[in-house]
Amino acid sequence: MIATALDHIPMPPCAKLLGWRLVDARPQDGWIKIVFDGKPDFCNPAGFIQGGMLSAMLDDTMGPAVFVMTEGRLYTTTITITVNFLAPAKPGPITGEATVTQLGKTIAFVAGRLTAVDGTLLATATNSIRLVEAARALR
């Protein structure tokens, strides 16, 4: 597995809950790939992963893309997130990918996507992120 700035901070409880696992990253490109555990506990009454859980997975993919791209110098806080749900997500592994589309001095823009094991595109998202010096945010 590739070494990233994420190796130097403890995994947050939310990421643990989601079963967050870094699979690949290209820090120079602002790209990251994460796998999540789509747990049956995350399902709605229809048996599909609830949309809020998918939104959390997207958010927990897009923020780390910035952190990795900036080699851990910048921490992120979401300003806005727009999620498009494209297909029902069944329990099982869910892959998240994100790319930093623009990195400014105080705000970044990121695009993300979630796919099922069979390649089905489950959801897409874009977000705007406030940038904070990691040294100040991660105390």
pTM of the model: 0.94
Write down the pLDDT at residue 115: 98
How far is residue 111 from each of residues 45, 46, 60, 117, measured CA to CA in Å? 29, 28, 12, 20
Report domain extents, the chain. 12-137
- The beta-strand segments (E) located in 13-120 are 21-26, 31-38, 74-85, 92-103, 107-116
Question: Structure tokens of 39?
Answer: 């747990």
Please say if the pLDDT value at position 102 is more than 70.
yes
Please say if the pLDDT value at position 117 is more than 80.
yes
Write down the pLDDT at residue 6: 84
Summarised one tens digit per residue, pLDDT across range 10-34 is: 889 999 999 999 999 999 999 999 9
Decide yes or no: CATH 3.40.640.10 for domain 12-137.
Answer: no
